[in-house]
Amino acid sequence: MISYDALIIGAGFAGAVTARQLAEAGRRVLILERRSHFAGNAYDRLDEAGVLIHQYGPHIFHTNDKQVYDYLSRFTPWLDYAHEVVANIPDGQGGRMEYPVPFNLISLETALGPEEGARLANALLAAYGPERKVTILELRQNPDPDISALADYVYEHVFVHYTMKQWGTTPEQIDPNTTARVPVFLSRDCRYFQDAWQGMPLHGYTKLFEAMLDHPNIEVRLNADARDVLDLTGDRILFEGEPFEGPVVYTGAVDELFSCQYGRLPYRTLDFQFETHPVDVWQSHGTVNYTVDEPYTRITEFKHMTGQVLPGATTIVKEYSRAYTGGEGETPYYAILNEENNALYARYAALAARFPNLHLLGRLAEYKYYNMDAIAARALALADGLQK
Ligand code: FAD
Ligand code: UDP
């Protein structure tokens, strides 16, 4: 029987980057992944029509962290892609209109007309300065009646209904860092992200992972749920019935690791509705947010993002958000960050801390709203620490 130096649960960015680093340092690493594929939520594949789709929702890589960019560039070339998003809303005259999100100076002119748009743009620029990003909650505090009326407009047309759909509650009730991800931007830059490096892995995320996991010291077991082989009921971690002393890096939901003994950690889950249409192009931008009406939050058309050329077919995905119940086949996607839930998380983290060789890493295991680059950075740091 092969013996392993490290066990990693989950083959998303957290697990795969850690595994690669440990493998390169000479450790024999076993990854257990309960899905039938690696790449975690970044997994992409060709669908029946031959369109490259993201199975778990649209993933755009963006970072200001050069170390992460350089690291991932070892495993993939990149397609230059600057993601742009528009809000699609009723125009009040029986039709629909679109303008950039984050709401910017172009959105302002489109929504309110060139004259009123220019007047309010001047007021905003005088109050905050050019190229500034102002959160919607901050903008709503501004006492200037013009700015406050504009803030109400943006709140109503961009934030409140979308946030109600996504989180089941208003922007005031969720963690302020969440809406701050999409500020009002006093700029004509229509990109969704301003990070120094942004793009898509040229051959897709799954190929990136394939290259990252291709190392003689890494073994990946798919369709393998760690809960079937790990035992954390005693004072040492048992793997397949034997004490395991090496590092165990767990990247799944931490409540599940402890049989949800304090109750489930609350998450939002998503239902993805994929549709293939016999046209070259379906919509104006990679992602279109339905910020006022429709039951789904957004529609993404993958070909915009991947640059794939495939005449006569395109695939889109509509995202419907709802409360996660832990039911069969449901995936926890978004941690619901608030004081009560963070306190519940802390109780589970304390259970994990009883095992000095158990490390919680990743968007699920740390119960945080991390982008892919942040997870890769945390994985590099953890792997570094484990080698000291
Ligand atoms: P995951 O990718 O979730 O990987 C965890 C893995 O652990 C999963 O494969 C899971 O099956 C496995 N696992 C869990 N429990 C067990 C178990 N008991 N046994 C075995 N395996 C187990 N980030 C960006 O930077 N840009 C984006 O555009 C972007 N878009 C997103 C869109 C959506 C809809 C969502 C939900 C997230 C998005 N993200 C984006 C965030 C990104 O998905 C995460 O940062 C990233 O997936 C985190 O990687 P991870 O390894 O922590 O988690
Ligand atoms: N948001 C919104 N309207 C939009 C876009 C975002 O109200 O058109 C809010 C919403 O609460 C959302 C949050 O901003 O959950 C963060 O948006 P982001 O696009 O970063 O979410 P993600 O891509 O992670 O789902």
Maximum separation of any 2 CA atoms in the chain, in Å: 75
Quick check: CB of 159 below 6 Å from ligand 2?
yes
Is 303 within 8 Å of 281 (Cβ atoms)? yes
* Half-sphere exposure for 173 (CA within 13 Å, toward CB): 9
Alpha carbon of 125 to those of 122, 142, 181, 304: distances in Å? 5, 13, 20, 32
Specify the pLDDT at position 388.
Answer: 76
Name every residue whose Cβ is closer than 8 Å to that of residue 251 and which is 6 or more positions away in sequence: 8, 9, 10, 12, 14, 15, 40, 360, 361, 362, 364, 365
Name every residue whose Cβ is closer than 8 Å to that of residue 93 and which is 6 or more positions away in sequence: none
Residues of the chain with pLDDT > 70, as a percent, come to: 99
Token code pair at residue 356: 């000095």
Quick check: CB of 101 below 6 Å from ligand 2?
yes
Quick check: CB of 336 below 6 Å from ligand 2?
no
Is 342 within 8 Å of 367 (Cβ atoms)? yes
* Half-sphere exposure for 324 (CA within 13 Å, toward CB): 17
Token code pair at residue 331: 């995936």
Token code pair at residue 97: 């209109």
- Paired strand residues for 248: 7, 358
Ligand 2 atom 9: the closest Cα is on which residue? 179
Is residue 108 scored above 60 in pLDDT? Answer: yes
Burial (CB count within 10 angstroms: exposed 0-12, middle 13-18, buried 19+), residue 81: middle
List phi, psi (to 5°) of 196: -65, -35
Candidates 205, 188, 154; CA nearest to 84 is 188
Token code pair at residue 254: 């931490």
Candidates 147, 145, 144; CA nearest to 134 is 147
- Alpha-carbon distance of 192 to 82, in angstroms, equals 8
Report which DSSP code applies to 266: P
Ligand 1 pocket: which of 7, 59, 268 to mutate (most atoms <8 Å of CB)? 59
Q: Encode pLDDT of 13-61 as tens digits.
A: 999 999 999 999 999 999 999 999 999 999 999 999 999 999 999 999 9
Helix spans in the chain (H): 13-24, 66-73, 105-112, 114-128, 136-139, 145-154, 160-167, 176-179, 205-213, 254-257, 302-306, 339-353, 372-386
Ligand 2 atom 13: the closest Cα is on which residue? 179
Q: Please report the atom of ligand 2 found closest to the CA of residue 160.
A: 7
Specify the pLDDT at position 72.
Answer: 98
Is residue 1 scored above 70 in pLDDT? Answer: no
> Mean per-residue pLDDT for 350-375?
98
Mean pLDDT over each residue of the chain, to the nearest integer: 97
Other Cβ atoms closer than 10 A to 372: 23
End-to-end CA distance of the chain: 28
Q: Encode pLDDT of 231-265 as tens digits.
A: 999 999 999 999 999 999 999 999 999 999 999 99
What pairing do the DSSP bridges indicate for beta strands 6-9 and 29-32? parallel
Q: Please report the atom of ligand 2 found closest to the CA of residue 85.
A: 8
Classify residue 168 as left (phi > 0), alpha (psi -120 to 50) or beta. Answer: left
- d(CA 7, ligand 2 centre) in Å: 35
Quick check: CB of 33 below 6 Å from ligand 1?
yes
Ligand 2 atom 19: the closest Cα is on which residue? 182
Map out the domains of the chain with their CATH numbers: 6-42+202-266+334-386 (3.40.50.720), 97-185 (no CATH)
- Alpha-carbon distance of 12 to 59, in angstroms, equals 13
Residue type, 122: N
Name residue, tokens 């709140």. 155
- Paired strand residues for 242: 239
> Mean per-residue pLDDT for 145-172?
97
- d(CA 42, ligand 1 centre) in Å: 7
- Alpha-carbon distance of 224 to 180, in angstroms, equals 37
Q: Encode pLDDT of 206-232 as tens digits.
A: 999 999 999 999 999 999 999 999 999
> Mean per-residue pLDDT for 178-205?
97
Is the pTM here over 0.95, yes or no?
A: yes
